[in-house]
Amino acid sequence: MDIKQEIFKRLDVLADKLGVAAGHLWAVLVRQALATAVADLVIVFLSAIGLVIAIKVFLYGWKMGMEDDWDDGSNFFLSLCGGIGTVLALMGVFSYLYEGIMYLVNPEYFALQQILNLFK
C-alpha cells in the first residue's frame, strides 16, 4: 500500500475519533509551534549575550596573558574558559536560530509532524 494512502487513512480515522475537536487540536498544535519558535528565539538572544560575555572573557585573558608573558596560569585558564564558552554559545545560537526560524515561518508543517509522530 502506498505510504500516502496509509497516512490519509490514519488521519481520517483520527479525525473521525476527534470529531469537532480535530479543528481545535490543529489550532493548538499550530500555536504550540509558534510558542516553540518564540522560545527558541529567546534562547538565541540569551546565547548571544553569553557569546558576547565569553568573547570578552577570552580577549581579556588573552590580553593579560600577552602582557604577562603567560607567567601566571590563571590568564591561560581564563582565556581557555572564554574560548570554550564562545564555542558553546555559537553552537547554541546557530542550532536554535535555525529551528526557531523554521517553526516561525511554517508552523503548520510542524503541527503536521506532531500528528504524524503519533502514528510511529
The CA-atom distances, in angstroms, between 109 and each of 16, 37, 64, 97, 116 are 21, 13, 51, 17, 10
Q: Is residue 17 part of a domain?
A: no
What's the pLDDT tens digit per position in 16-57? 777 777 777 778 888 999 999 999 999 899 888 888 888 888
> The domain containing residue 97 runs over which residues?
24-117
pTM of the model: 0.67
What's the pLDDT tens digit per position in 95-106? 888 889 999 999
Q: How confident is the model at residue 72 (pLDDT cuts 50, 70, 90)?
A: low
Q: Is the pLDDT of residue 70 over 60?
A: no
The CA-atom distances, in angstroms, between 78 and each of 18, 69, 119 are 58, 14, 50
Query: Angle 17-18-20 (CA atoms, 0-180°, nearest 5)?
Result: 130
Q: Is residue 4 part of a domain?
A: no
Number of domains in the chain: 1
Q: Is residue 28 part of a domain?
A: yes
Q: Residue 17 in contact with residue 115, Cβ under 8 Å? A: no
